């Protein structure tokens, strides 16, 4: 097996697990948000997103298996809470929506757009295209909820907490060197960004989409910018 | 990568959706509420969500 095929198999298997977790998260958050904002369109969108993510799980697992990495998903998987314990239930829901949608789904959308701008193999392109159609909505869910909460509740508390969200999102090796056997062209054909491109997309999305978006709704992105400056500095 | 387009489609598009339905109930308690002093500074500082 080539290095690109092996790395892509692992990436798609990882994505299958990520999508499975996302389905659970959307189901949980839909019930919570409906409890304090019954007029919001967000809970219904989240329930639809959960169904999307279950479909994405199968798509990603199918590609992983085709590349030689069968995925064993745990049907009883549970989702640990990620919000600080000091937050109220409503604040914790906002924390989780911002981490999952405003950051992670927005970053995923940038990754998908970049991959689709290249020349992935036809089967990979089909999956990327189907997933990207849904991920647009999933990212918007986060910005829709943050915009509503910025009117109804206090959202400034999120500012100092965004670095924790970012630290929990990235791979430990994002700011390090690529693997010595990395095959950038092979990876792109199989739907995976080479490390340097991944870093470029991650940083560009934070600086030009996520941080301005947070600031638009009253969340100070200063602490996140400081965290990013430290995280991206070697040594 | 057209980040400007992503901002418009995702951030501004999301805000339009958020504003399109009935106004969310202003919650006076939440509006004035600050998280506990240890938010973000202890072992319970919170985490993130892995993605692609």
Least confident span in A103-112, A122-131, B28-37: B28-37
Rg (CA), chain B: 17
Length of chain B as a residue count: 52
Q: How many C-beta neighbours within 10 Å does residue A155 have?
A: 21
What is the structure's pLDDT at A215? 98
Q: Using the predicted structure, report yes or no on whether residue A78 has a pLDDT greater than 90.
A: no
Residues in contact with A90: Cβ distance below 8 Å, sequence separation at least 6, in sequence order = A36, A149, A153, B27, B30
**For A116-125, A132-141, A171-180, A198-207, which range has the lowest pLDDT when averaged over its residues?**
A171-180
Report the gap between the CA of B50 and the closest CA in chain A (Å): 5
Task: For chain A, give the number of residues.
Answer: 235
pLDDT band for position B25 (cuts 50, 70, 90): low
Between CA A166 and CA A137, with CA A223 as vertex, the angle to 5 degrees is 45
Chain A residue numbers with beta carbons less than 8 Å from the beta carbon of B27 are 36, 90, 152-153
Looking up tokens 């400081």 gives A226
Cα–Cα distance for residue pair B35/B43, rounded to 1 Å: 15
Q: What is the CATH number of the domain that holds A99?
A: 1.20.1260.10
Gap between the Cα atoms of A92 and A75, Å rounded: 26
What pLDDT sits at residue B32? 54
Q: Is A197 on the interface with B (CB under 8 A)?
A: no
**Structural domain count of chain A:** 1
Judged against a pLDDT cut of 70, whether residue A234 lies above it is answered with no
A87 interfacial to chain B (CB closer than 8 Å):
yes
The ipTM assigned to this model is 0.94
Per mean pLDDT, which range of A25-34, A55-64, A206-215, B17-26 is the poorest?
Answer: B17-26
Predicted local confidence at residue B41, as pLDDT = 39
Q: Residue A201 belongs to what domain range?
A: 3-71+79-231
Weakest mean pLDDT among A72-81, A221-230, B23-32: B23-32
Q: Is the dihedral of CA A130, A137, A117, A108 positive or negative?
A: negative
Predicted confidence at residue A137, as pLDDT, reads 98
How far is B15 from chain A, CA to nearest CA, in Å?
5
- 3-class DSSP string for A10-45: HHHHHHHHHHHHHHHHHHHHHHHHHHHCCCCCHHHH
Give the Cα separation of A87 and A215 in Å (integer). Answer: 21
For the entire predicted model, the pTM comes to: 0.92
Percent of the residues in chain A that have a pLDDT greater than 70, as a whole number: 99
- pLDDT of res. B18: 93
> What does the alpha-carbon distance between residue A63 and residue A76 come to, in Å, rounded to a whole number?
22
């Amino acid at each position: 097996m080539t290095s690109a095929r092996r790395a892509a198999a692992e990436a798609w298997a990882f994505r299958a697990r990520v999508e499975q977790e996302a389905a659970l998260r959307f189901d949980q958050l839909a019930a919570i948000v409906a409890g304090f904002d019954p007029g919001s369109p967000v809970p219904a969108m989240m329930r639809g997103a959960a169904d999307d993510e279950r479909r994405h799980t199968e798509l990603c697992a199918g590609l992983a298996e085709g590349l030689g990495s069968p995925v064993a998903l745990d049907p009883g998987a549970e989702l640990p809470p990620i919000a600080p314990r000091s937050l109220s239930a409503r604040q914790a829901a906002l924390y989780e929506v911002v981490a999952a949608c405003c950051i992670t789904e927005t970053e995923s959308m940038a990754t998908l757009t970049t991959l689709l701008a290249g020349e992935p193999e036809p089967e990979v392109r089909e999956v990327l295209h189907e997933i990207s159609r849904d991920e647009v909505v999933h990212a918007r869910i986060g910005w829709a909820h943050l915009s509503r909460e910025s009117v109804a509740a206090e959202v400034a508390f999120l500012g100092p907490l965004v670095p924790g969200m970012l630290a929990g999102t990235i791979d430990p090796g994002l700011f390090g060197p690529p693997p010595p056997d990395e095959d950038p062209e092979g990876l792109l054909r199989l739907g995976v960004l080479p490390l340097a491109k991944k870093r470029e997309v991650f940083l560009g999305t934070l600086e030009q989409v996520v941080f301005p978006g947070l600031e638009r709704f009253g969340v100070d992105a200063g602490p996140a910018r400081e965290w990013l400056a430290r995280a991206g500095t070697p040594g | 990568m057209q980040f400007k387009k992503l901002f418009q489609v995702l951030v501004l598009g999301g805000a339009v959706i958020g504003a399109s339905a009935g106004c969310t109930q202003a919650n006076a308690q939440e509006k004035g509420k600050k998280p506990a002093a240890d938010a973000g500074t202890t072992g319970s500082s919170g985490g993130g969500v892995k993605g692609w």
